């Protein structure tokens, strides 16, 4: 006999359906997570990340951090993973995210928890699903906000007959402006070229230029599942090969966040001094990624911003393109002639990084 | 030339055979092991465990633990792995275990070592092997017992002509009674629903009910080997594909303990407040598990016990059924019509967990 | 458009070519790396290492270490990985290494950085490549040398027409003599047999004897890539299956250093008291290793040295043979009848370990 659980726990077990979301409702996501040196080591092993701010404690301390910091994306994936059981377990599709801001560094030993607020609802005309907009916030053990982001997902209805809520579509910024970025390092100038391997700094990157990052990495089922479990993301599309045989994909999907991490790590060669992510403005997972695919990365510099009151550090708005099974040099444009994303492009990410300025040297 | 080692080290290299075991002999198992944040992170990545007692230091401390604790099963696997070279390297079969009790929490930084005592011997009628019963104990660096269990294995004889020992079959309890359980958390009531994701507590589970846990996970060779190496379990059936081609299985076997860990992690959805394992009463690995198999879990509630002198926490005796390549809903019974275990059932575990009682809230 | 980077960063991105190396030049390799408990746990999971000096803090402390030490080879792989982008990214072949000395223990929390000096250059007669000899040194965060080694690699020329440098071939020692070894443990006698599982000590091993280690391990793509990323070694032959399809191997190569680690871990059974590596005298990766291969290990004892002023510890010079897809007992000699390495031999390593002497007991 299948357990008929009381309502409140049934929610945890089956996830929320469209009609379970109420505008303005605040969801406290369960299972806080302490991030440790163990998680940081695994993140390096899983992604190949080499940013010294996360790998080398003396470097981080010289920059004014208390200790080396947890990789921005590791902290994000863990915080994001917390929201999955409540927000997107019944998602038809993850439609987008916006206004992701990194507000404070996360250190080994910190404990992350997440909350979300429903900020928009729009039932689909077929009445079988709807779009849910949430604003999610992650906090450390002192209650300080470390991350915030908005995302919208298409979620199944449990019962197509249940009444539609009033349509509310929130206004979300196209990008996080320079004035809204939080520079966390007191002294980015300590990140000298001998440490990162590159003399290129903020001043050297010009809007419009494209960097074809030289390395590629082939994914395996074991490593994407290890990563996604580390992030405690329970979306079953990543783990259950038997169930996925029934899906249109026919097999397990790689968690899109892990694809971002791999592409960010690949982009180290050419962006060595991009020591922290300030914001993710938006992004799309334009095609699915599977085990066996080989990933490559291209960066386009979109913009170069000075930061209020800072002459030692600036921001670069970048476009990170992840492509599979095609060397960067062979990709003329991430958009196919028909206007759709190129079939080998799996990621199109708009994000902003911090980089020391020449004055530092 | 193969080294002809002195007797004492030859023992380490080839393992003990049936005639090497003497009733009452005490074996000090080599290579103590310090468990750290690194092991805990890997355990999460390998199993998907989400129990906040092991993942979130502030939660564990609020419950009265000194720090987050090492997952009960991680501590067990490491302790168990220590016994393999001496006890079961020449095992024909691991026949069973009983009376496994978790006596004290294990914290990151603790060092585990193990000893075993031979408590029973019975030569098989074919004289080519025999059954060895051992009681194993694991201790931390202060010499405090953290785990104890009995198990029995069928072990080859080196020489079929060597004389049979007197048959001694120990009496082992069918289960660990409530009075013999050690509640380690001073304040389980701190495990509030916002932390675990479920309001269900001890009072809400009824003997006889069945929980079909929703998630499944497909195993890979890389991840089961990583886990088994982490546990420093050297049984070669898990690692050597070339040698296993000669076996009846034709390939590497997944360590049964890792199957327990995966099923325990899968069972989090539906047993969110089962924050610690008090005992494992017994269990069988009813069918082998291989890479490529997809695991699912079912829990049956066997019994609900109050605990002497505690109104804040109770114990649930559970049956954890692990099945492969079959969704839980499709399994009517873990026993096939012929009385044998269902061919898709790989684990049938009888264990006892602690759960906060309603009074906590 | 591909970014045309300024010269200094172009170097980082495409690696040095033969004509970029100048005799006497000193290269400071980027991205220092803090090694933590997380890296140590991963190393155990990836290799199956069981040496208690690295696994058990109380044992290491009883031996006089401040804490358990980072596995010698883990420290080496990380230091070595740092040199790859500058030294061997354009290598045709890693020709050899010599005079690798372990100078100081590395502890969890230590940060490793590396520098190299060009000590020899010899252009090949075809003018398309040349051999570069470097001496590399790794330091901890206090600037203390922890490792030093020489290696030579054949590197492509960017432009075959560029002029040849004067030929300088450094004189490198065939082995590190006893007097040049650094014994790091003040009290190796604390490593008693109950801890390691063997009573065999330095006195018990005789030059000429051969030990066939009993275990084997099958490699997977996921685990060798995890290891090589953990070491932050970016050589693309290990990661990019698509690019490697064009190579003569047709697939990803396993990093030779990881093969050393696996064979060293396999050799624990039979060398339990070889608690630290003093030196690597030299070695060859005689055949490539691929995922799917099953590795085994054989040790030949080459020499037994007493150490100046020490009666408690001695050194053994060993030959570690790694073989694939062939049980040790089936290998009569690592050399084939035609004088070439046996086709199943992948590693032939000449190294020196420390082991307690009988007087300790």
Q: Are residues B160 and B179 in the same domain?
A: no
Q: Which chain C residue shows the shortest CA-CA distance from B238?
A: C217
Question: Which of the other chains make 3 or more beta carbon contacts under 8 angstroms with chain B?
Answer: A, C
C4 assigned to some structural domain: no
Q: Are residues B150 and B204 in the same domain?
A: no
- Chain C residues in contact with chain A using a Cβ-Cβ cutoff of 8 Å: 1-3, 5-6, 8-9, 12-14, 28-34, 36-39, 41-42, 85, 109, 111, 141, 220-223, 225-227, 229-230, 232, 234, 236, 239-243, 252
Tell me which residue in C36, C56, C270 faces B13 most closely, judged by beta carbons. Answer: C270
Q: CA torsion sign, C301 to C306 to C311 to C312? A: negative
C52 assigned to some structural domain: no
Q: Are residues B332 and B213 in the same domain?
A: yes
A52 assigned to some structural domain: no
Q: Are residues A354 and A209 in the same domain?
A: yes
Q: CA torsion sign, C68 to C72 to C73 to C74? A: positive
Q: Taking CB atoms and an 8 Å cutoff, what residues of chain C touch A270?
A: 3, 5, 9, 13
Q: Are residues A131 and A227 in the same domain?
A: no
Give the best residue of B41, B212, B296 to mutate against chain A (max A CB count within 10 A): B41
B3 assigned to some structural domain: no
Q: Are residues A199 and A79 in the same domain?
A: no
Angstroms from B76 CA to nearest CA on chain A:
20
The three-point CA angle A314-A315-A320 to 5° equals 145
Q: Are residues B80 and B167 in the same domain?
A: yes
Q: 3-class SS at B52?
A: helix
Q: Are residues B150 and B21 in the same domain?
A: yes
C5 assigned to some structural domain: no
B257 assigned to some structural domain: yes
- Beta-sheet pairing, A345-356 with A310-324: antiparallel
Distance CA(B48)–CA(A256), nearest Å, equals: 18
Give the best residue of A39, A41, A63, A208 to mutate against chain C (max C CB count within 10 A): A41
Residue with tokens 């910190």: A110
pLDDT reading at B9 higher than 70: no
Indicate the residue among A157, A172, A205 that finishes a domain: A157
- The predicted model scores a pTM of 0.96
Q: Are residues B223 and B259 in the same domain?
A: yes
Q: Taking CB atoms and an 8 Å cutoff, what residues of chain C touch B227?
A: 45
CATH number of the domain that residue B22 is part of: 3.10.129.10
Tell me which residue in B37, B47, B212 faces A37 most closely, judged by beta carbons. Answer: B37
Angstroms from C30 CA to nearest CA on chain A:
5
Angstroms from A114 CA to nearest CA on chain B:
11
Distance CA(B97)–CA(B79), nearest Å, equals: 14
C-alpha separations of A342 from A139, A257, A339, B112, C36 in Å? 37, 20, 8, 54, 41
Angstroms from C320 CA to nearest CA on chain B:
14
A169 assigned to some structural domain: no
DSSP annotation of C132 reads E
Q: CA torsion sign, A329 to A335 to A340 to A341? A: positive
Q: Taking CB atoms and an 8 Å cutoff, what residues of chain B touch C197?
A: 9, 12, 29-31, 85
Q: Are residues A150 and A186 in the same domain?
A: no
Angstroms from B88 CA to nearest CA on chain C:
15
Domain that holds residue C245: 191-361
Number of domain units in chain B: 2
Indicate the residue among C172, C205, C234 that finishes a domain: C172
pLDDT digits (tens, 9 = 90+) for B50-101: 999 999 999 999 999 999 999 999 999 999 999 999 998 878 888 889 999 9
DSSP annotation of B69 reads P
Distance CA(B35)–CA(C228), nearest Å, equals: 23
Q: Are residues C229 and C333 in the same domain?
A: yes
Per residue of chain A (361 residues), give pLDDT as tens.
334 333 333 434 678 999 999 999 999 999 999 999 999 999 999 999 999 999 999 999 999 999 999 999 999 999 999 999 999 887 888 888 999 999 999 999 999 999 999 999 999 999 999 999 999 999 999 999 999 999 999 999 999 999 999 999 999 999 999 999 999 899 999 999 999 999 999 999 999 999 999 999 999 999 999 999 999 999 989 999 999 999 999 999 999 999 999 999 999 999 999 999 999 999 999 999 999 999 999 999 999 999 999 999 999 999 999 999 999 999 999 998 899 999 999 999 999 999 999 974 4
Q: Are residues C132 and C237 in the same domain?
A: no
At C201, list the tokens. Answer: 């000590």
B235 assigned to some structural domain: yes
Indicate the residue among C144, C172, C200 that finishes a domain: C172
């Amino acid at each position: 006999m299948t357990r008929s659980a009381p309502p409140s726990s049934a929610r945890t077990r089956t996830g929320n359906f469209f009609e379970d979301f109420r505008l303005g409702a605040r969801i406290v996501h369960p299972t806080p997570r302490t991030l440790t040196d163990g998680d940081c080591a695994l993140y390096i092993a899983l992604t190949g990340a080499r940013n010294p701010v996360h790998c080398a404690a003396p470097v981080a301390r010289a920059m004014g951090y208390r200790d080396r910091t947890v990789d921005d994306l590791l902290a994000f994936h863990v915080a994001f993973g917390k929201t999955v059981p409540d927000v997107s377990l019944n998602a038809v599709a993850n439609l987008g995210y916006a206004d992701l801001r990194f507000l404070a560094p996360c250190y080994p030993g910190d404990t992350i928890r997440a909350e979300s607020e429903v900020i928009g609802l729009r039932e689909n005309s077929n009445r079988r699903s709807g779009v849910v907009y949430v604003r999610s916030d992650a906090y450390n053990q002192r209650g300080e906000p470390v991350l915030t982001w908005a995302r919208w997902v298409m979620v199944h209805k449990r019962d197509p007959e249940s009444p539609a809520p009033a349509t509310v579509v929130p206004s979300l910024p196209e990008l996080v402006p320079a004035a809204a970025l939080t520079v966390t390092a007191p002294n980015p100038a300590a990140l000298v070229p001998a440490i990162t391997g590159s003399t290129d700094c903020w001043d050297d990157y010009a809007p419009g230029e494209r960097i074809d990052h030289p390395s590629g990495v082939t994914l395996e089922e074991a490593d994407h599942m290890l990563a996604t479990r580390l992030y405690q993301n329970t979306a079953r599309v990543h783990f259950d090969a038997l169930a996925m045989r029934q899906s249109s994909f026919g097999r397990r999907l790689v968690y899109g966040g892990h694809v971002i991490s791999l592409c960010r790590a690949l982009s180290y060669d050419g962006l060595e001094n991009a020591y922290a992510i300030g914001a993710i403005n938006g992004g799309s997972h334009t095609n699915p990624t599977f085990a066996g695919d080989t990933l490559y990365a291209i960066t386009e510099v979109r913009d170069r911003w000075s930061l209020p009151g800072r002459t030692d550090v600036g921001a670069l708005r970048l476009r990170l393109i992840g492509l599979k099974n095609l060397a960067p040099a062979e990709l003329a444009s991430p958009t196919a002639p028909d206007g759709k994303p190129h079939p080998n492009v799996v990621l199109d990410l708009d994000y902003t990084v911090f980089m020391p300025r020449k004055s530092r040297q």
